[in-house]
Chains A and B, each alone.
Chain A
Amino acid sequence: MTRPILVLGGRVVDPSRGTDEVTDLLLAGGKVEALGRDLGRPDEAVLVEAAGKVVAPGLIDLHVHLREPGQEDVETVASGAMAAAAGGFSAVCAMPNTDPVTDNQAAIGFIVSQAQRAGKARVYPIGAISLGQNGQQLAEFGELVGAGAVAVSDDGRPVVSSHLMRTALEYARTFGIPVADHCEDPTLAAGGAMHEGLVSTRLGLKGIPAAAEEIMVARDILLAEHTGGHVHLCHISTRGSVELIRRAKEKGLRVTAEACPHHFTLTHEACEGYNTNAKMNPPLREPEDREAIRQGLRDGTIDCICTDHAPHHYDAKEREFDDAPNGIIGLETALGLAITELVQPGLLSLNDLVNRMSVMPARIFNLTGGTLAPGAAGDVVVIDPEAAWVVRPEEFYSKSRNTPFAGRELRGRAEVTIVRGQVVFEHARRGSVAPAG
């Protein structure tokens, strides 16, 4: 039996219950035991001082790439789960584009067992939509869900066939899981290295037009309407996509959407100088797109913030822009970016932030957590929203360093992350714990 944890004197922010007050929180038996000012002090309890801090349900990231199996040199389930904990995440959802692809129950079971061995943030596997992510034959959703998958996606590859997307949405209804889609028309995006606009014209790089995303967003919305299935639109990056999703939600369709910190922070200008750490897919867009993402997060058109954490080896990014792989890591910068870019300027309240990074993600994928209701999972983050810090990739728990935010000064970070009623990360003890390998 693990020791109870008493979180003292923090501002408890739990939008799932409308809570925002300074109070204490007691965790016992891996669950939330009670909230209140007079909880007593069990002798054996671990005390977490949270005065001046925010206490919230642990953050949840619906979109990460942990590279295991297949590319354990750049990330593993264990190192990713530790990086997640350091970023304030109590749970992350791992995309299936590993090698081999997570398209069967054995592969799903492997992720689940690796996550249990690591014992840091929870890691929920996402199964593939199609076998081998080849876009042809549906994977066995029933077996995937039975082994622990929480959603299906062919992320990294768009679902080209509208017929396959339709049947996936229909078939997924049986199991009550969403279908998460990476929206990209491959014929429009082919060979593209960055957003198509003035910067791509100047740099002489092939562009990916905003329409490549919006065409598939529109298709998926139409198919959600047609099938009644739940489509979750991954890493939305354009103003047009936000407008399409807003209209779909007004119609009451089962459409949810996520956006990444880099898309609400950076624009295509970050690619200047052929900076491969600004190369990602979907690409960094224009200032109007960034503004639309911010507004979408404010008004709820975009339900949640995800990282699309995509580790790559240093060598892979140290090359010609056209040949460098897409993606950046994000688990250890997401909270700081969200507070710096969204909360500090007054776009989101801290309540909104917790809603977008914990409550909503839990609801969308129907996950444990996202609430501090008594009896709920003991997944908690203590946030210092004022802490000023500088991004130093060499200090990351992630095995990779590919971030465009190195050297950036941020406000706000996770001080303590608790999963299943156990402390898995403490900022104060950074460096005294060897990074997980």
Chain B
Amino acid sequence: MTASLGKDLVGLEPLSAEQIQLILDTAEPFKEVSERPIKKVPALRGKTIVNLFFEASTRTRISFEFAEKRLSADTVNVAAAGSSVSKGETLVDTARNLEAMRIDMVVIRHGASGAAQFLGQRIRSNVINAGDGKHEHPTQGLLDMLTLRDRFKRLRGLKVAICGDILHSRVARSNIWGLTKLGAEVGVCGPASLLPRNVHQLGVTILPRIEDAIQWADALNILRLQLERMQSGFLPSLREYNRVFGVTSERLSKAPKDLLILHPGPMNRGVEIDSDVADGPHSVILPQVTNGVAIRMAVLYLLAGGSPDWAGQGGGVDG
């Protein structure tokens, strides 16, 4: 038995390289479960999981829900609107009420950085961070890493450029921590108004222009540009962003090699990424989504105390 994950998954920063490796390796057999005609293993039978989403999400919530159901867990989805949260209940009271219902796990998406850790410190159930503010989105980082590993068969030494709004991106932070811990080189590329202070101290290379990223990288992870960044004065316009930082096939044609294209979605076609790139031969945007379910199955399974050797073989979880 290698390193366990501990009680919660709040981010990749606190994890060791071994723990991250364990999740990626555990996801491998779970990929196959989703290819079966009957997509279900009994690993989490009898476990109760609440998906607590304080922010709107389609893809991440559905991905978690499929992961839970394919592991035979009982799941409840709570959207903040329509719950007691919208009546002014505090996060700590919400947490205590869930705890009182004897749930086993909470998957939380929240607009405030630190919300997952806050919850994890206050309840005994396992807590999985499905995105907290601008902090981390660890399962997204992991599924990006799994997708890169599938294609390159390694992560060590790989050059991955994360492009776009690094300042506000939890996906960027989780990718930076996860990739650097496993020996990949990470570059960040975006307008300086969207790069966070002291980001170079996280061990990343700053690539000032998208052309620099394209020359440097083996793979581009292109972040979604939130449209509200214009109103808050970080950028002049979407049009200019596309002209200066958009990933286009014309720009990619000048790359010294074919670059793998990732995007966490949802895409703004014609803004940060052009359609012919998104739909092109080097895009792994849909394999990312497929891998998302396997990664989330692995995380749920490991946090519930599952052994990696049993994963995918229909093994149950003790207790």
**A positions within 8 Å CB-CB of B:** 196-198, 200-207, 209, 273-274, 315, 318-323
Contact partner of A204 (CB less than 8 A), chosen from B91, B92, B132, B197, is: B132
Closest beta carbon of chain B to A201's beta carbon, Å: 4
Residues on B with beta carbons closer than 8 Å to the beta carbon of A318: 90, 92
Q: Is the interface of B mostly helix, strand, loop or mixed?
A: mixed
User: Which of B33-41, B112-120, B281-289 is the interface stretch?
Assistant: B112-120
Give the CA-CA distance A322 to B111 in the complex, in Å. Answer: 10
Task: Please give the distance in Å from A44's CB to the nearest CB on chain B.
Answer: 56
**A315, B90: Cα distance in complex, Å:** 9
Is B202 located at the chain interface by the 8 A CB criterion? yes
Complex interface bits, B13-29 against A, C-beta within 8 A gives 1, otherwise 0: 10000000000000000
A8 to B88, CA, bound (A): 58
The answer to whether B202 touches A201, judged by C-beta atoms less than 8 angstroms apart, is: yes
- The 6 closest A-B CB pairs, nearest first, are A204-B135, A274-B114, A204-B134, A320-B112, A204-B113, A198-B198
Please name all residues of chain B whose beta carbon is closer than 8 Å to the beta carbon of A205 when the two chains form the complex: 113-114, 133-135
Report 26 cross-chain contacts, Cβ distance below 8 Å, ordered by A residue.
A196-B197, A197-B198, A198-B197, A198-B198, A198-B201, A200-B196, A200-B197, A201-B196, A201-B199, A201-B201, A202-B13, A202-B173, A203-B113, A204-B134, A204-B170, A205-B113, A205-B134, A274-B114, A274-B118, A318-B90, A318-B92, A319-B92, A320-B91, A321-B113, A322-B113, A323-B112
In whole angstroms, how far apart are the Cα atoms of A207 and B170 in the complex?
A: 15
Total interface residues in chain B, CB < 8 Å: 24
The answer to whether B202 and A273 have CB atoms under 8 Å apart is: no
Question: What's the A-B contact tally at a CB cutoff of 8 Å?
Answer: 63
The answer to whether A204 and B173 touch (CB under 8 A), given A274-B117, A320-B91, is yes
Taken residue by residue from 193 to 215, chain B's Cβ proximity to chain A (1 for < 8 Å, 0 otherwise) reads as: 00011110110000000000000
Q: Which residues of B contact A319 (CB under 8 A)?
A: 90-92, 118
Within the complex, the shortest CB–CB distance from B229 to chain A, in Å, comes to 13
User: What's the Cα separation between A196 and B198 when bound, in Å?
Assistant: 9
- If A315-B90, A318-B92, A320-B91 touch, whether A203 touches B198 (CB-CB below 8 Å) is no
Say yes or no: A204 contacts B198, CB within 8 Å. Answer: no
* Distance from A71 Cβ to chain B, minimum over Cβ atoms (Å): 18
Inside 8 A of A202's CB, which chain B residues have their CB? 13, 173, 202
Which residues of the other chain, B, contact A315 by a CB distance below 8 angstroms? 90
CB of B218 within 8 Å of the partner chain: no
Question: B70 an interface residue at 8 Å Cβ cutoff?
Answer: no
1/0 contact string of B154-178 vs chain A (CB within 8 Å): 0000000000000000100100000
Interface residues of B in 74-98 (CB under 8 A from A): 90-92
Nearest-CB residue, chain A, relative to B173: A204
CB neighbours of A322 from chain B (8 A): 112-113, 133
Tell me the bound Cα distance from A321 to B201 in angstroms: 23
Known: A198-B198, A323-B112. 12 other contacts (CB 8 A): A196-B197, A197-B198, A201-B202, A202-B13, A204-B114, A204-B136, A205-B113, A274-B117, A318-B90, A319-B92, A319-B118, A321-B114
Residues of chain A within 8 A of B136, CB atoms compared: 204
Task: Kindly state the separation between the CA atoms of A319 and B90 in the bound complex, as whole angstroms.
Answer: 7
Q: Return the chain B residue nearest A201 by Cβ.
A: B196
Q: Determine whether B110 belongs to the interface, using a CB cutoff of 8 Å to chain A.
A: yes
The winner among B13, B92, B197 for most chain A CB atoms within 10 A is B197
Minimum CB–CB distance for B237 against chain A, Å: 21
Query: A320–B118 contact, CB under 8 A?
Result: yes
Binding site for A on B (CB under 8 A): 13, 90-92, 110, 112-115, 117-118, 132-136, 170, 173, 196-199, 201-202
In the assembled complex, the Cα of A321 lies from the Cα of B132 at a distance in Å of 12
Task: Give complex CA distance A319, B92 in Å.
Answer: 7
Which residues from chain A contact B113 at a C-beta distance below 8 Å? 203-205, 274, 321-322
What's the minimum C-beta distance from A90 to chain B, rounded to whole angstroms? Answer: 39
Residues of chain B within 8 A (CB-CB) of A206 are 134
**A197-B198, A320-B115, A322-B112 are contacts. A203–B135 as well, Cβ < 8 Å?**
yes
Q: How far is the CA of A202 from the CA of B172 in the complex (A)?
A: 11
A320 CB contact (under 8 Å) in B110, B134, B197, B201: B110
A197 to B202: give the CA distance in the assembly, Å: 12
In the complex, the chain A residue whose C-beta lies closest to that of B110 is A320
Known: A315-B90, A318-B92, A319-B91. A201 touches B112 (CB 8 A): no
Looking at A200, A203, A318, A322, the one whose CB has the most chain B CB atoms below 10 A away is A203
| B114 adjacent to A203 (CB under 8 Å) | yes
**Complex Cα spacing A203 to B173, Å:** 9
Cα(A207)–Cα(B110), bound, Å: 19
Kindly report which residue of chain A lies nearest to residue B169, judged by CB atoms: A204
CA gap between A319 and B114 in the complex, in Å: 10
Report the Cα distance A323→B88, complex, angstroms: 13
Looking at A202, A206, A209, the one whose CB has the most chain B CB atoms below 10 A away is: A202
**What B residues does A200 contact at CB under 8 A?**
196-197
Q: Give bound CA distance, A175 to B135, whole Å.
A: 50
Find chain A residues with CB under 8 A from B199 CB.
Answer: 201
* The residue from A201, A273, A321 contacting B198, defined by CB atoms under 8 A apart: A201
* Shortest distance between the CB of B114 and any CB in chain A (Å): 3
Chain A positions within 8 Å of B202 at CB level: 198, 201-202
Contacts of B133 in A (CB 8 A): 204-205, 322
Alpha-carbon distance between A322 and B92 when the two chains are bound, in angstroms? 15
**Closest A residue, CB atoms, query B199:** A201
| Nearest CB in chain B to that of A205: its residue | B113
Q: Is the CB of B90 within 8 A of A321?
A: no
Task: Kindly state the separation between the CA atoms of A207 and B199 in the bound complex, as whole angstroms.
Answer: 13
Is the Cβ of B112 less than 8 Å from the Cβ of A321?
yes
- Bound CA span A220–B132, Å: 39
**Chain A residues within an 8 Å CB radius of B13:** 202
Query: How many angstroms from the CA of A315 to the CA of B201 in the assembled complex?
Result: 35
Q: How far is the CA of A107 from the CA of B236 in the complex (A)?
A: 48
A202 vs B176: C-alpha distance in the bound complex, in angstroms?
A: 10
| Bound CA–CA A322/B132 (angstroms) | 12
Within the complex, the shortest CB–CB distance from A316 to chain B, in Å, comes to 10
Q: Shortest distance in angstroms between A205's beta carbon and chain B's nearest beta carbon?
A: 5
